[in-house]
Amino acid sequence: MFTYSIQTHIAFGDGATHHLPEHLVAQGFGRRLLLVTDPGLVQAGVAERIADLLTRSGFVPRMFAEVRPNPDEAVCLAGRDAFLEHRADGVVAVGGGSSLDAGKAIALLARQGGTPSDYALGRRPYGPPAPVCAVPTTAGTGSEVTRSAVITEQGTHRKLTLKHEVLRPPLAVCDPALTASLPPSVTAHTGVDALVHAIEGATCKGAHPIARAYAREALGLIYPALPRAVHAGDPAARRDMLLGSLLAGLAFGSTDVASVHCLAEALGSLYDTPHGLANAVMLLPTLRYNRPYAAEAYAWVARAMGLAREEDGDEGAAEALLEGLRTWLDDLGIPKLRDLPGAKPSDFDQLATLAYENTSTPSNPRPMDVRDYRAVLELAYAD
């Protein structure tokens, strides 16, 4: 048994941003908008261009550009205050996963009150948020079509996952041109995050045929496109990456992620490691650890990526996946765990506990306890 629903209106294509005002009108957004973004996009002139476009089309945008990587509860509460002061009708979130997730949380807090931890810890019921239009500027997060937002808890630095169908944005405007100026390292890290979404979304417990259909398409796009996007930055590769990231979001957005993400979020909590980089570092060791429990699923992934043929046996295909990923990650310049700033074995117990407490742990194909997570961290550190 599975359920599936998606109510996001998606506009995808080069120059899609130019039509943002029309899409907002068509989806019934009010005139007063809070533009949630980060300082980098202000510096690059992207946020201003979008604000000008909205103003020229009769909207009244107010800029809230305080989102940082791994956004915390405080920035969401500040965004809520800005939303209420502006008497905004809706949110336009422009940026990577941090800005999109913060925008979704701000829209919820503005309409339903409380703090992010109130929702993530079940102290407050979810209700309809203000409408959100998500405009991704990285190809990785998939947050433009998912029902979750990851926010860092104030004080503890734990990752809180807000997850409810009401958080799925009603509108996503995906313009590959917005990803054109991403530096190679950010392209690589966010792109691997998208691949992990497709792998985990299709192989976690609770994966279903609709998620696998999206994931298969995503894997076929991302695997060849990411090295081209990183090394050459050609527009076709950028387009494939944004589409692959969107499709991967549609895959895991109706199932779950699994232990790669649990470990990545633990690294993000302790070291503030950017989400994509943390996922990229933990991908291979986690798949190696899971493999005895997931050979058939990983063989399916290998075939979707073109690393194995239909007639190859599952064990051989799963091995081909791990071999192929190792070469691919090396080519993308992904570092090892021991090279991550701050990472050290004396933190492994804390990291393993944080990963274990992640709400996606039960979705991993291999049952995981704290010792299992420690074993993966040791495997990663020894690599």
User: Cα separation of 96 and 134, whole Å?
Assistant: 10
Of the two residues 193 and 217, which places its CB atom closer to Fe ion in the complex? 193
For residue 193, state whether it binds Fe ion (rule: CB under 5 A): yes
Of the two residues 37 and 279, which places its CB atom closer to Fe ion in the complex? 279
Task: Specify the DSSP class assigned to residue 30.
Answer: -
Cβ 240 to Fe ion, closest distance in Å?
19
Cβ 250 to Fe ion, closest distance in Å?
14
Of the two residues 192 and 305, which places its CB atom closer to Fe ion in the complex? 192
Calculate the alpha carbon distances from 355 to 117, 199, 279, 313, 360 in Å: 18, 18, 12, 32, 9
Of the two residues 72 and 193, which places its CB atom closer to Fe ion in the complex? 193
Cβ 57 to Fe ion, closest distance in Å?
33
- For residue 58, what are its two tokens? 């009769």
Given the rule CB under 5 A, which of 190-198, 229-237, 242-250, 334-342 is the region that contacts Fe ion? 190-198
Cβ 193 to Fe ion, closest distance in Å?
4
Backbone angles phi, psi at 27, to 5 degrees: -90, 5
22, burial (CB in 10 Å: exposed 0-12, middle 13-18, buried 19+):
exposed
Applying CB under 5 A, what is the total number of residues that bind Fe ion? 1
User: Cα separation of 253 and 201, whole Å?
Assistant: 8
Given the rule CB under 5 A, which of 78-86, 154-162, 193-201, 285-293 is the region that contacts Fe ion? 193-201
Given the rule CB under 5 A, which of 159-167, 186-194, 209-217, 319-327 is the region that contacts Fe ion? 186-194
Of the two residues 17 and 148, which places its CB atom closer to Fe ion in the complex? 148
In the range 48-107, which residues lie near Fe ion by CB under 5 A?
Answer: none
> Which of 138, 83, 370 lies closest to 275 in space, CA to CA?
138
Binding letters toward Fe ion, positions 337-356, x by CB under 5 A: --------------------
For residue 200, state whether it binds Fe ion (rule: CB under 5 A): no
Calculate the alpha carbon distances from 326 to 1, 37, 44, 285 in Å: 35, 34, 34, 10
Strands 9-12 and 60-64: unpaired
User: Cα separation of 210 and 339, whole Å?
Assistant: 38
- For residue 365, what are its two tokens? 């194909």
Of the two residues 61 and 136, which places its CB atom closer to Fe ion in the complex? 136
Backbone angles phi, psi at 344, to 5 degrees: -155, 150
Burial 117-127, CB ≥16 within 10 A → b, else e: bbbbeeebebe
Cβ 346 to Fe ion, closest distance in Å?
27
Cβ 261 to Fe ion, closest distance in Å?
6
Looking at beta carbons, which residue is closest to Fe ion? Answer: 193
CB 376 within 8 A of CB 289: yes
Cβ 307 to Fe ion, closest distance in Å?
22
Of the two residues 17 and 146, which places its CB atom closer to Fe ion in the complex? 146
Cβ 260 to Fe ion, closest distance in Å?
9
- For residue 43, what are its two tokens? 């510096």
Given the rule CB under 5 A, which of 35-43, 172-180, 185-193, 362-370 is the region that contacts Fe ion? 185-193
Of the two residues 38 and 193, which places its CB atom closer to Fe ion in the complex? 193
Of the two residues 35 and 186, which places its CB atom closer to Fe ion in the complex? 186
Cβ 141 to Fe ion, closest distance in Å?
6
Coarse DSSP helix, strand, coil percentages of the chain, rounded to the nearest 5 percent: 60, 10, 30
**Amino acid residing at 253:** G
- For residue 361, what are its two tokens? 């742990």
For residue 256, state whether it binds Fe ion (rule: CB under 5 A): no
Cβ 306 to Fe ion, closest distance in Å?
23
Of the two residues 211 and 308, which places its CB atom closer to Fe ion in the complex? 211
Angle at CA 100, nearest 5°, toward 193 and 262?
Answer: 40
CB 245 within 8 A of CB 135: no
Residues at the contact surface with Fe ion, assessed by CB under 5 A: 193
